[in-house]
């Protein structure tokens, strides 16, 4: 868990307070980052692959992530579409790799 809160703890959780600390906890193993826009921004410069989900619906929210495809750093390597179903909107899984 990456957090700025030096007092945060939870049973069985490993806590890091920086990107370097978090990567050290991983011990060289591949890392998946799941977080908000700030966490994404911290790890984006060192990421080599991104897995995005595009939702086929306009959703109101207070956080927006810049689209990495607007940069020449990334190329799309996979796309898997899923139609709307049971009232849920359609979506697409998109894989990107750093050039």
Please write the tens of the pLDDT for every residue from 52-66. 999 999 988 887 778
Residue 11 covered by a domain:
no
Element (H, E) at 26: helix 19-26
Q: How many domains does the chain have?
A: 1
- Supply the DSSP string of 58-90, one letter for each residue: ----S-----GGGSTTEEEEEEEEE--BTTBPP
Cα atoms in the 13 Å half-sphere on the side-chain side of 92 = 11
Residue 71 covered by a domain:
yes
Residue 57 covered by a domain:
yes
Helix, strand, coil share (%) of the chain residues, nearest 5: 20, 30, 50
Residue 63 covered by a domain:
yes
Residue 83 covered by a domain:
yes
pTM comes to 0.82
pLDDT at 63: 78
pLDDT at 36: 81
């Amino acid at each position: 868990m990456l957090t700025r809160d030096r007092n945060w703890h939870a049973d069985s959780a490993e806590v890091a307070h920086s990107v370097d600390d978090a990567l050290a906890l991983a011990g060289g193993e591949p890392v998946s980052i799941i977080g908000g826009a700030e966490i994404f921004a911290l790890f984006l410069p060192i990421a080599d692959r991104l897995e995005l989900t595009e939702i086929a619906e306009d959703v109101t929210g207070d956080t927006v992530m810049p689209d990495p495809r607007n940069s020449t750093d990334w190329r799309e390597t996979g796309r898997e579409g899923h139609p709307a179903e049971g009232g849920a909107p359609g979506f697409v899984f998109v894989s990107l790799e750093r050039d």
